[in-house]
Each structure stands twice: as C-alpha cells, then as structure tokens.
Structure 1
Amino acid sequence: MTITAAADGSALGNPGPAGWAWYVNDDCWRAGGWPHGTNNQGELMAVLDLFRATAHVPDEHLRVLCDSQYVINSITKWMPGWKRKGWRKGDGKPVLNLELLKELDREIAGRKYTFEWVKGHAGHDLNEAADERARAAATAYQQGVAARSGPGFAGAPVAAVPSQAEASRADATPRADAMTGNAAGKDTRTATPAATATRNGAVPAAGAGPFGQTLFGEPDLFSELEAEAFVGTEASGKEPSPEEIVEALERELAGPDARGDIGRTGVLLHPDFMEIGSSGRVWTRDAMMMALEEGPGHPAELEILGADRIGTSAVLLTYRSYARQGTVLRSSLWVLDGTKWRLRFHQGTPEA
C-alpha cells in the first residue's frame, strides 16, 4: 500500500506567523504553526510531522507531494553531502534550520518513501488542501485564536501539535545553525524526476553564474532596508522615488551582506522571477535558491546606467556590474507587488 499525502507550509511576513499542514483526505490531515517562523520551516515541519504520524506503519510506502524544491532537495540530494562536510554547505557556512533537519534525518531512517514535486497554487487538489490548512494555521496565530489541528492519521499515537520550540531552535541564530543527524538505518530514499530537477531542467551547480551569484530566502527586509537606505531623505521630508527605492534594493542584492545571508534577500524576488544569465542559462526562482544554498559567489560593484519608470508599477534598471570575472551589462525589471517592490526579471550580457 502507498500512502499519498501533500505537505505544505505558510508564513505571513516570512518570517511571521507561520503554519504547516499535511493532507491525505478530509478524514486524515493535520496542521499546526507558531507565532513566528518562516515558510521553509513550515514546509519542513509539515513533512516531519507526516513522517511522525505514519511511524506506526513503517512498511507502508509514503509518497510525499511537495511544492518546495528546498525541502525535496534537502532530504533527497543535499543531506549526504552536508553530513560529509560536517553539516556545512559548500561555502563552509552552517546549514540552516538545524533542529528540524536533525529531526527529519532521524524520522526518515529506514522508511520507504518518494518525494514528488508539484506546482503550488496550480489547482492540485491535495496540494491546495494542504496549503489552505497551513495558511489557516498561520492566520490563526496572527489573529491570536486557536488553530484547527485536524484529525491526524488513524491509529497513530496521540501526540501534541509541535510547539514553536522546534522551529525557534532552528531559527534562534540565523546563518549560524549547524545541522546534525542520525545516519543509522538503511537509506531507502528515492525521488521522482520532478523532485530532482528544477522547473527548467537540471539542478544548478554552485557558482554557476546566477545574477550577482547570490540571492533569496525568507525574511521581509523591506521596512528595515528602506529605513536605513533613505534616512537622509526622510530627515528632509522628501519621500524616496520608485527609482531610488529600486536602485537601493538592487545594490542590496549585490552587496556582501545579502551574499552572506540567503534569508535576507529572498522576499525581494517575485514568485515568478526569471533570469537569463550571462552564460545564456535560464534561471527560475527555485533554481536560483538551490544554487545559492550551495555557494554564494562573489560580490560585485554596480555602475547605474539608467532607471526608467514603466507606468506606475514597474521600473527598468540598467547597469554595469564589475566583478572578478569581468564586466557584465545588466537589466532588472522591478514591479510593485502590493506596496513592495520585487524583482520580476533579470538579464546579464558579458561586455565585450
């Protein structure tokens, strides 16, 4: 018998009130959350609780449907390499979300399972049901009301919905986590082709040349960045223009702080972000995140060539970047998503 379940996470603010959920059917699902967490932590917690909830049927094959490339690749691709390197990434920095990954490593040992990537918010019944419950849990924590936890898995031992402690331990020292785990047990993990490839093809290698070589992750940096970047204009009573905001955000993405903190810049990318890199390769947001998880690349200096407003909700920024590899002519399309500017498209062309 195969147990098919979707697992999903949600964070309102990222980080902010967070929720997670797994779903088999209306009579078999579970959800929970914390007052403060990230989307990735919610995704990891959903999968962890699913394995715990099915631990009493270890001989059943577990088919996990997940829209997070980060979670799938953490479990099916990166974990062995992280262990060999002492639970550090390719750039020598500690792996994020320590406690959750430790617990996942223990729970999957000896289990039979398959991960399958599904596109989120695309009408997949199980994924939509898990997403709805994860978001409901996050919303409940945001509003300070009780979150529905669901019936759970039939026959599973009664267990409390995980508290914030499991996520807060993983998030206690961002960028200073270290992942440990239990390598014991037979490794029966498998992954479908969709789980081991990005949306546009093969998994990118570290340092393969994505925009600035370093982007993305989770926390919302907008209010912090805008307060810091425009303190002078605020003091003079002048509101920063969209062009000024976009230029400041672009420089932030190219700077050393962003390159050293994958979580700081992720929210700047639009969910439909795409890049045509200087190598000619097409990058999606997920592919970029996976590449940066392995290695942040090198910082670059920017020479702004132009900032042109396109209507009221888009700015096209053109500039030249200077890095160790040479100069590249670049263009970035920033769009207004609600009240925040997010990077929708980027292209780089090596300068002759």
Structure 2
Amino acid sequence: MTALHAAESYVFVDDPDARQVLDVAPRSLLDGRAPRLLDEWQTAPELWNLVRRAVDASGEPGRFILTGSAVPPDDVTRHTGAGRFLRLRQRTMSWWEKVEGSGGHVSISGLFDGDRPAADLAAAPGLESVIDNLLRPGFPAMAVLPRELAADRLRAYVEDVAHVDIRRIATVRHDPRVMGQLVVALARSVAADVTFTTLASDVRVAAPTIGAETISEYVGLLERLFVVEAQQPWTPALRSRARVRTSPKLHLVDPALAAAVLGAGSERLQDDLETLGVLFESAVVHDLSVFASALGGEVRHYRDSNGKEVDAVVTLPDGRWGAVEVKLGGTKATARAASLRAAIDQIDTDAVGDPAFRLVVTGTGPTLVMDDGTVTAPLSALAP
C-alpha cells in the first residue's frame, strides 16, 4: 500500500492473469508509467534480471518499485543488482507513529547531532499506558482495533504463516503446529541471547526429535518472511582481553505479535513484570531500528565475556554510534546509566570514537539529562 501511493502504474505478479502473461511475454509486465510497481515480484524471481536490464537500457532513475512479502530463496538471480537497486525494509509503526499525542520530543537524529532535550518530569507515563501501547499492533489496519480483536488477528497471522506462507518458499517436513510452537518460543525469548538448542527443547512438545540445525533453518525461513528480525552483535575493539559475544538476539517483527502468541493481555502483563520487561525491550529495539533506518543506520547489541552489555547500539554509516540501555521502571534509570558507563569503559574509544550519546529508555520515567550527560526518556518520547 505504501508503494501504491508512490507508483504511477502497477501489476500484482501473483495475480492469475499476470501469471499467464509471465509465461508468454514476461517483459510486457514492465510496461507502464514510471514508477511501475511490481508487487510480490519474488514469486517470479526472473523479473529481477528483466528489471535490471531495463534500468541499464534507460537513463531514467526511479523507474520501478519492487515489493514482496518474502525474500527469494536464491540470491544468485540478484547478484547483478549493485548500483541499480536500493533496498528498504519496511517495519511496523513505531510508538511515535501509532500513539496519538505521543510526545516525540527526543529525536534520535538530534541526539547524534549533539542536541539534548529539556527536562520534562510530566512526560512519565503510567504502567497501564505502557502496556496499552505495547499491545497496540504496529500494523496500520490493526492499530485501531480493540485489543482482544487485534490479538486474535495477530494469532491468525501466525497460523497463516505456519500453514501457508512457509510452504510457499520451502519444503517443510514438520506439521504446521511445530512452526507455530517455534514462534511462541521465539516470543518467549525476544531480546535474549537464546540458542537454537534452547529453542529446539521448547518445540519438542510438538516435535520430540527436532534438532538445533532444523530450528536454525526454520528461523531462517521466518526471517525471509519478515516475521523474525535478528539484532546482530556489535564487535568493536576492546581495551581489555574480554571476548565479544557474537550471537544475535532474535525479535518478532512487532512486540504486540509476541504478546499475542504468548496470550499476554493487559491483566497478565500487569502481574508479570518480567515478561513485560522483555517485551518492552523488544519494543525499544524495534523503534530504534525504525529511526536508525531513516539515517541509513542499524541497531546492534554488545555483550562481552566480562558480563558487560549494552542493550542497543545505534550505528551510522559515518562511524558515529550511540549506546542505549532499556529499563521498564523509571526509578532504575540511574543504575542503568552506571551500567552503560561501565560497558563503554571496556570499549576502545580511541579506535571507534566516543559515543555520540548515552541514552536510557524507560517505560515509566521522565525525560532528563543526568549530571554525567546520559539522557533518560520514556519510549513514548522518542522520535526520528
């Protein structure tokens, strides 16, 4: 739908009529006013090379928009796209976008430029507000639905992925229940250093003999379908002899999706602050990823063998970086700021530079700049 707003003409490649044309005259699908949208192009990967040749033959920029709900299985067909294609991952909406009246007065790009927010003690949200916003899906059509109905839609989405979408892109020998159980296991472990062995043990209720290698393959399929996103590690040079951990953290595409498959509604989350804290950290990483992508950056995490860690490291192409800690309760911000400083002390800043900012994101805290320069703000205050 986003691409349709930008396109002057379009074709749905998975439409039966388009499939017939594809068999006899595939180049004709490229005919139309520019920009021309080819939706679900990955169902016909040969279109990639046809588009590439059309781009080479014309000096006109921005001729095509290719959109898809899955990554094609074979990158060989796409290796000649360098210099011709720009890739954009579309994530679900951030809190700044989906929550009406969100403050949005702490800009991530502004923090990189040296801006620091004014103190706002009234910005501290209540716990009920945090839970309500977390359970509000970032999928536009679901954001306005009652929470229970939205959760039902999200669980139905996972069922469709397990029964239909996975089998469109790969041969899966296990029952769809196994894939559904894997999504639940991933939801339980979002924002954690979970191993495929641990995930396999969580899924063995539905598949007693499943192994870590198969789980790894299935997680890869869920990544290709944009259900799972990996938060890769940040591996800077260190001052100490500590070793940097290199395993990624795994997140579901939307924190409300994780809550839905766990059956975690408002009342349960109020009574289970540990689960709420994990889901909240995933929500922060999600929003930082949205904001970082607008700057051409990405969000990683840092953890070393000395037990020092940074929940999120926002890195930009020019080498600048910001360190972010996450804590649900606003009263813990001072302790998290100290933890952040201790982790940064391990990093060789002569090699990577000092962080452009240190930020503690809370659920229920105010917006402040601490005496040591660390910014603390609620997630509801963050903006691009």
Report the TM-score when normalising by structure 2.
Answer: 0.29
The structure having more radius of gyration, on CA atoms, is: 2
Higher strand share: 1
